[in-house]
Structure 1
Amino acid sequence: MKIKDVLPGLTFVVFIAVIVRSAHKYLPNAYEKLLSEVVVGMLVGLIIGNFIGVSDLFKSGIRLSFGLILKLAIVLLGVRISISKIIAVGGTALLLVIFLIILALIVTYFLGKWLGVSSKLAALIGVGTAVCGNTAISAIAPAIKAKDEEMSFAIAVNTLFGTCAVFLYPLLGEYLHLSDTFFGFWAGTAVNDTSQVVATGFSYSNNAGDWATTVKLTRNALMGFVIVAMTFVYAQKDNKNTSFISKIKLPMFVVMFLIVAAINSLGFFHWLEGISKITIIGHISWLTKFLILIALIGVGLNTRFTSMKNIGWRPFLLGLFVGLIVSCTSFTLIYFLKLG
């Protein structure tokens, strides 16, 4: 791959990303919390790709944006993963989070088969519900080699039901007279994307927002385990006739993600910040979010509505059912475990 082939398209995507990030800051506060910049970016990409069109000159660079650049972003996500953060939330709460993640993935798998949804699209909807919303979908898609339209559709489903939750959860919380802690745990375990969890929690109260954010970050921290598990499962499915050793081989970007997460868990980046007086983790997090924005704009530019239309309505039904099951199960367990 030559630089001159990818530079026009990559420059085009980066230009759109800069515009989207700049414009997103000027959205009204409620909408800024409701719709993350990556969702806005993918929508812009879909609109340009489907209604305006993209020159063939840009196509190599666009492919690079949702290929290599997305994988680089996944590696850098390891800086946000720390075993200490997982432990800090407490044993009972951690077990609740792990149980709900497993439940969402299992229910999505079997319900997806029953509804006739492709296994990879169902997996993306499952991880979006179970772990970290759009970030998890973006991270898992290349690991299981999902199609662009499957990734786009999963993000659309995740965004739709996560947005509904932002409005419905606080109303239900007030109606049921839930405590701040109870509501925070419920929102943190059952709402999809991080931005949606924050919006839901803090719309109820500051204390509920703090609890919701803490629990949600625990879900996010478990993303590494989910990536490895999903990669392994789909390596087995896609390579049925190969040896066991080749089946368990992880893609290099997943291996690098785990290495970065392990280094972060040892406190290396915090130590580096201490001696350099530079907010290294903050800068890397900023870069990671920007790279994911670039990648999802590229996905939008490369996805056609006709392909998404062919997928049908069943994935939306799948997302609705899984979301309801996780939400009701979370509420019931929080009540009986007396976490609130």
Structure 2
Amino acid sequence: MNERGNIMTKIKPILPGLIVSFIIAVISQGLALVIPNLGGATIAIIVGIILGNTIIKQPILNKGTHYSEKALLEYSVVLLGLTISFQTIAKVGWVGFLFVIIQMAITIISAILIGKMLHFKEGIYLLMAGGNAVCGSSAIASIAPVIEANDEDKEMVITLVNLIGTVLMLALPIISTFAFGANDLLRGAMIGGTIQSVGQVIASASMVNSLTVDFATLFKIMRIMMIVIVVFIFGRMHQKTIQNELEADAEISGNGSGSLLPWYVVGFLVFCVLNSLIHLPSFIGLTAHTLSSWCEITALAAIGLRLNLKAFIQSGKKFLIYGGSIGLIQIVASIILITLLLK
């Protein structure tokens, strides 16, 4: 009885913020049926920002929204592992894989260099690099602990990355058709190799046709599979930065201390390997995808509720220049690489 009481004592402060975040997620999913071009994830963060900066500011929600933001994104990353397999690479061939690797490398290098030019700190430019190169919010959630990024930086970058993704989601069906005509493979490569989140990729490709959705999803999945490597590299980069700044005998402390791969990235990798080696029933992948999506959208609603819109707007000009520059580079690089490698 005492143990049950302790559990309830821990859960009760979380419930108000978690419930409000989930309600916003449900509303957002409903609105996404009416305006599918935006998608539930984008709507959730927008609704969260509006409500969190106007009528929903109660301190009682803080613990629950913090839990939703952190834990639910972690669960979302783990569940993604059950939706993909290494056999994906074989479906688009080594040339398609090469395109994804080079496109990601260009995005990461550009985000880091531009971030430094605009005098953003390491936490901002590494989260921007990973979020745009890999898979949006899930990548940011995976990278944040290993580089010891604070919550405010993470929230602002997730908001900006989702904004960039929304713009690209609406623009790329037109741009890819203009660049590659009716070639569904090439249009799918551009959409899947560029846009940030899985939901945005599918929504964007759906504006073209179902075959483009299939190809775009394959290219997107290959990017997601690289999350483990990106987290590992960024963790090493951060440790090197810390070692350069501190005395030789100083200990590295913080959220990411002592671990280059958080538990949920390891979980993602384990599930991915399992899914590659064993033919799991299709309902497992579908269930994992559904749960992952709900976890992500609820977490994005919580991030919107917690975002300090005033601070975001104060950094707005620099952030918009930053985000716009990365988006433009991604578009140009994908057109050049697809023309050289896949056309």
TM-score range, shorter chain: 0.7 to 0.9
Counterpart amino acid of 2:328? Answer: L
Q: Contact (CA 8 Å) 1:269, 1:281: kept in 2 or not?
A: no
Give 1:50's aligned residue. Answer: 53
Distance 2:11 2:127 in 1: 30
Counterpart amino acid of 1:111? Answer: I
Counterpart amino acid of 2:58? Answer: S
Distance 2:69 2:165 in 1: 24
Q: Contact (CA 8 Å) 1:50, 1:305: kept in 2 or not?
A: yes
Give 1:314's aligned residue. Answer: 318
Going from structure 1 to structure 2, the CA distance change for 1:152 and 1:60 (only over 3 Å counts) comes to closer
Aligned match for 2:62, one of 59, 62, 65: 59
Give 1:264's aligned residue. Answer: 272
Q: TM-score scaled to structure 2, two decimals? A: 0.83
CA displacement 1:277-333 (0-9 Å, x = unmatched): x83333333333333333333333332223323434212211111221121111112
Q: Contact (CA 8 Å) 1:157, 1:319: kept in 2 or not?
A: yes
How far did residue 87 of structure 1 move?
4.2
Aligned match for 1:154, one of 148, 152, 157: 157
More displaced stretch, 129-138 vs 239-248: 239-248
How far did residue 60 of structure 1 move?
2.8
Q: Would you say 1:130 and 2:138 are equivalent positions?
A: no
How far did residue 16 of structure 1 move?
2.6
More displaced stretch, 315-324 vs 82-91: 82-91
Distance 1:131 1:333 in 2: 17
How far did residue 335 of structure 1 move?
0.9
Distance 2:259 2:300 in 1: 20
Paired residue secondary structure (1:192): coil
How far did residue 130 of structure 1 move?
1.0
CA displacement 1:102-134 (0-9 Å, x = unmatched): 111111111111112222222222222211123
Going from structure 1 to structure 2, the CA distance change for 1:269 and 1:19 (only over 3 Å counts) comes to farther
> Mind listing any 5+ residue stretches in structure 2 that lack a counterpart?
1-5
Going from structure 1 to structure 2, the CA distance change for 1:253 and 1:64 (only over 3 Å counts) comes to farther
Q: Would you say 1:12 and 2:20 are equivalent positions?
A: no
Q: Contact (CA 8 Å) 1:82, 1:262: kept in 2 or not?
A: no
More displaced stretch, 8-17 vs 194-203: 8-17
Q: Contact (CA 8 Å) 2:92, 2:218: kept in 1 or not?
A: yes
Listed as ranges, the matches of 1:78-97 within 5 Å are 78-97=81-100
Distance 2:84 2:179 in 1: 34
Listed as ranges, the matches of 1:287-306 within 5 Å are 287-306=291-310
Going from structure 1 to structure 2, the CA distance change for 1:173 and 1:102 (only over 3 Å counts) comes to closer
Distance 2:250 2:184 in 1: 49
Give 1:98's aligned residue. Answer: 101
Q: Would you say 1:283 and 2:287 are equivalent positions?
A: yes
Q: Would you say 1:228 and 2:232 are equivalent positions?
A: yes
Aligned match for 1:200, one of 186, 197, 204: 204
Q: What is the total number of aligned residue pairs between the two structures? A: 334
Distance 1:120 1:80 in 2: 29
More displaced stretch, 172-181 vs 200-209: 172-181
Q: Would you say 1:210 and 2:214 are equivalent positions?
A: yes
> Mind listing any 5+ residue stretches in structure 1 that lack a counterpart?
none
Going from structure 1 to structure 2, the CA distance change for 1:89 and 1:246 (only over 3 Å counts) comes to farther
Paired residue secondary structure (2:312): helix
Give 1:254's aligned residue. Answer: 262
Aligned match for 1:326, one of 309, 326, 330: 330
